[in-house]
Amino acid sequence: MRLYAYDVGQCDAKKCTAKKLARLGLITTVKTVRRIPYKTVVLVPVAERALSPVDRTSTTSITVFDCSWKQISAFDDLLIRMKRKKRALPYLIAANPVNYGKPFVLSSAEAFAAALFILGEQEQAESLLAKFKWGTDFLRLNEERLQSYSEAMDSTEVVAIQKRYLYMYDEEA
C-alpha cells in the first residue's frame, strides 16, 4: 500500500513522524492538494465516515493530513471541500511521546499504522511502527480495538464497535 503525507509545514521536524518516514523512503510527501492521488483514502478527523475494511477494495494508497493537532481546525474548510475519499480513524489511543495515552490524537505514523491494520495490511503496519521506539506500544495499547475494527463489515459497524469502546472508556474515567 502506498503512503502519502500532505504536509502543511507546521510540524517540528525533530518530532514529526511523517518527516522521519519520508527520510526513510517509506512515504511520499506532497505539498499541494492536486498532488494527492485521486484513489487514495485521506485520513482526516472531520470525515463523515469511519475507515473500514471495505475501503480496501477501492484504494491502493493512504494519505494523512500532516499538521499540528492544535491548528487543525484552521483547515476544516479545505478538508471538507477536498474531492477525495475522506475517512476518520475510530477510537484509538496514542503511544507517541508527545500525546501518550490521549485518545484520537495520533501521530502520522500511528495514523498510517492504524489504517494499514484496519485495511488488512498488518505486516506493513508493524514494519512502519518498528522505526519508532514506542511503535510496539501503539500496537499493544490498541491491539483489541484494531483487531475488532479490522473485522468489521463496514463503516457503520466500525462506529458501533467504537461506541462500545468509548462507553468502556467513560466507565473507567
Ordered by start, the domain boundaries in the chain are: 2-172
**What is the chain's Cα-based Rg?**
15
- Which residue reads 503525507 in cell numbers? 5
What are 87's strand-pairing partners? 43
User: What's the pLDDT score for residue 45?
Assistant: 78
Mean pLDDT calculated for residue range 106-135? 97
User: What's the pLDDT score for residue 76?
Assistant: 58
11-56 pLDDT, tens digit each: 767 778 999 999 999 999 998 877 888 889 989 877 889 999 999 9
Helix, strand, coil abundance in the chain, percent, nearest 5? 45, 15, 40
User: What's the pLDDT score for residue 32?
Assistant: 82
Q: Greater confidence, 38 or 126?
A: 126
Q: Single out the residue of 152, 132, 134, 155 nearest to residue 26, CA to CA.
A: 132
User: What's the pLDDT score for residue 85?
Assistant: 82
What are 30's strand-pairing partners? 6
The pTM of the full predicted model, rounded to 2 decimals, is: 0.89
